[in-house]
Structure 1
């Protein structure tokens, strides 16, 4: 299998407004937003009191009482997404060689909900600086070690091959899929369960983003608060969720007659070593990641049919990646549709990259570009075709998905229709 490209044969999704792959795609193509006032805790003390929450019942999703007791919310998302993806792929993973099944899972903030809840108990709601560990749940250590998220997925699919937790901030979900594709290409694994999960909606996360004023304070109109590339944008909207893909070698997928959503044709990442949260406006490092991913995919910039943007809804990000697209794609940047699904499902930190790759694979299947919701006011600095408000039928063979993260991370993945 060495040198064989990875293809996507299964997709599982837990997203704001849509639990499940097909409801997720329906939400995106309808241009429906899932942002609202936070309900999972009292947000009244915070500057930004809105988020894209997942309406998630772990019992209805098939988890047992013991699993719900043991797993952080992020782990629950990951396991439920994994089950859907594996079922979608048609694989019988227990029958596969477990040593040839790998897991590559991304997460930016790990078990945030579980950690915050346990700290509140141990410290008596912050009253005690020295905490009494005897009040902690038996699984507290697991909450403190993010790799337990990947372990839960590995246990679910009986994987005994390489198991990795990729944590590179907001590019974690792209990077985990890139890593998984590489395991297929180099012949290390026959099947890789790859994706990302994050459930960051908690008081501590809200306080952190409030402190740097990165999130939108548009509390009176949460449905329209996430406005990537819009002149009136005022910050991103936090989200949560997970997406998991089943990756296989293309030849093996063809041999068993599997449906192939897309091929992971190229991936690359860079770091700007510039600033913890800031971005240079020229987009050079993102452009370098795009250039390398296209080269590895053996695709010319003129072949790109759609760009799934990072599109967080901050001025510095929007102008940064707009510049990167122009730098990498040249004149093609003005003729290719670009959109951001964060306008509908918010920014779920490490998970969003995998949700965006899932959206790209589904876009290739349907030959439809999801829109950038809430884009009503043109920004002179962002002058590309950002597919405002309404989904668009569009012929696609090659799509590009990019991510940008705190710490200077810039990643790009190229997906192609299988066999093209």
Structure 2
């Protein structure tokens, strides 16, 4: 899917909840300093598992302003999303009461929905797995909401009184990019003037850890959790599971400019492709990701040589990092060798469906600050990953056009082009 060019879409508000930092300011301080937020799992006893590290959020829902009823009703992922909505609304200066609710929509990405609550409730109704025939009478009244991921979008819509289009986008690890891309499409086609868009996931639970253990996608680097996530490093051995959320206020450009809103960036281009090849495998030539990048650049009317920064998927698996490197060379040509690239998963882990939106936030802030966040733990670059992956330390770098990409199980490949305020005013 690619988006039309009839109406332009800008980001005017941002809310972020990530490991190591609650809020936009703390998030930027974390990733621009090169600090890592990965640690040994504390949510449950991870001793039986192959990978026992994760990037957990130090999140207190009461301190974040949620009521006891909201905490009881909402899964952790939905709590993340709603808290981010509160921050991005305040950040945007937008007053929901002054908007036509039918012109305000929601688009939320998630890969695994309400996993933590579902697992907890299954343990209850099955008597910790001892009963094959579960007793539903032990389930909480909100169990249906946990089963249906659309409940997250409903919570976001209720929070702001949005009565326009509402959707959950679940395309694995590209969900966060695709949810924002879907929101842009709705604004551009005229179905909404304002969209609350982003993604949330809270997957750090035994079932998720066991699933990734089974396919050996996550790192076994339990001896040094803070160094376990090593994208593009010769010694990388899998990703670190994370959690978190990022939500945005997206507005039609003229709508934002009329009210004098601060604009972080314009979402100038978006494209997504599927490789129709393998559920978890990637072709080494990076063709499908390269195609998504080329289409996103074309829609943005941006020449490959104008890309100032690439926010990589950079999961830290052997095949993904090789695949991405090939995709950048294939889509940007020689310019790929002179363009800074970095992976913030080295610091905040891989929060599955949420990470695409978190990386959009990182890209917009890189434009805002003219600074490229680093790839932490990159001490010995893989010779096959021979681009400029900004190791260890942030770099001051004039950034007006940022490219953010995602790659997900199922063969999904997505790319988004963000441009700075100077281009917004053109």
TM-score normalised per structure 1:
0.99
| Alignment RMSD (CA, Å) | 0.9
Q: Of 43, 52, 55, which residue of structure 1 is paired with 2:46?
A: 43
| Distance across 2 between alignment mates of 1:153 and 1:40 | 26
| Distance across 2 between alignment mates of 1:79 and 1:395 | 33
Shift of 1:254: 0.9
Query: In the alignment, which residue of structure 1 is the partner of 2:332?
Result: 329
Q: Secondary structure at 2:130's aligned position in 1? A: coil
Unpaired segments ≥5 residues, structure 1: none
Structure 1 residues 122-201: aligned runs within 5 Å: 122-201=125-204
Structure 1 residues 216-227: aligned runs within 5 Å: 216-227=219-230
Q: Of 11, 23, 33, which residue of structure 1 is paired with 2:26?
A: 23
| Distance across 2 between alignment mates of 1:134 and 1:351 | 32
Structure 1 residues 16-415: aligned runs within 5 Å: 16-415=19-418
**Contact between 1:7 and 1:264, CA under 8 Å: does it hold in 2?**
yes
**Contact between 1:2 and 1:184, CA under 8 Å: does it hold in 2?**
no
Shift of 1:2: 8.3
Shift of 1:31: 0.3
Shift of 1:318: 0.2
**Contact between 1:36 and 1:223, CA under 8 Å: does it hold in 2?**
yes
| Distance across 1 between alignment mates of 2:98 and 2:300 | 32
| Distance across 1 between alignment mates of 2:213 and 2:321 | 20
1:120-150 superposed Cα distances (whole Å, 9 cap, x missing partner) = 0001100000000000000000000000000
| Distance across 1 between alignment mates of 2:72 and 2:225 | 32
Q: Secondary structure at 1:334's aligned position in 2? A: helix
Q: Secondary structure at 1:274's aligned position in 2? A: coil
| Distance across 1 between alignment mates of 2:114 and 2:205 | 11
| Distance across 2 between alignment mates of 1:228 and 1:220 | 18
| Distance across 1 between alignment mates of 2:203 and 2:171 | 15
Shift of 1:94: 2.3
| Distance across 2 between alignment mates of 1:176 and 1:280 | 25
**Contact between 1:284 and 1:324, CA under 8 Å: does it hold in 2?**
yes
TM-score normalised per structure 2:
0.98
Divergent runs of 4+, >6 A: none
| Distance across 2 between alignment mates of 1:413 and 1:295 | 11
Q: Secondary structure at 1:9's aligned position in 2? A: strand
| Distance across 2 between alignment mates of 1:286 and 1:234 | 22
Q: Secondary structure at 1:307's aligned position in 2? A: strand
